[in-house]
Amino acid sequence: LNRRAVRNALWDAHAFVLPSRYETFGVALVEAMATGLPVVATRCGGPEDIVTEETGRLVPATDPDALAEALRTVQTDWTAYDPGHIREHVLDQYGPEPFVQRTRSFYRRVGAV
């Protein structure tokens, strides 16, 4: 899919699911959250640092029943998730300004600036 198609698919969705066994960061996860989507992701490395109780659900990576239950929960209790809060959370953590600040801080620590 091209960028426009991905964006439109996210805008048409009600939730985003990332059922990985191994995930370091999860760019797709952050992109989905930036549109305000609640997420259901597996505990597989990266999502644990991104997803909170207010932004979605985390389940064990090898438990399909837990994944299905989390999807049902998000589907039936979707009003518990505030799209504005989800977007704000991810932008506060991973948006351009926090990225620049962390990068500058890193370079200062290593003595490059």
Contacts with 47 (C-beta within 8 Å, 6 or more apart), sequence order? 18, 20, 23, 26, 29, 39, 41, 58
Distance CA(34)–CA(37), nearest Å, equals 7
User: What's the average pLDDT block by block, 10 residues per block, for the chain (113 residues)?
Assistant: 92 95 92 97 96 97 98 93 97 93 92 68
Contact predicate 22/44, CB 8 Å: yes
Select from 3, 73, 58 the least CA-distant residue to 26: 58
Enclosing domain of residue 23? 3-109
pTM of this structure: 0.86
pLDDT confidence of residue 113: 57
The total number of structural domains in the chain stands at 1
Contacts with 106 (C-beta within 8 Å, 6 or more apart), sequence order? none
The position carrying tokens 């207010």 is 54
pLDDT confidence of residue 75: 93
CATH classification of the domain holding 21: 3.40.50.2000
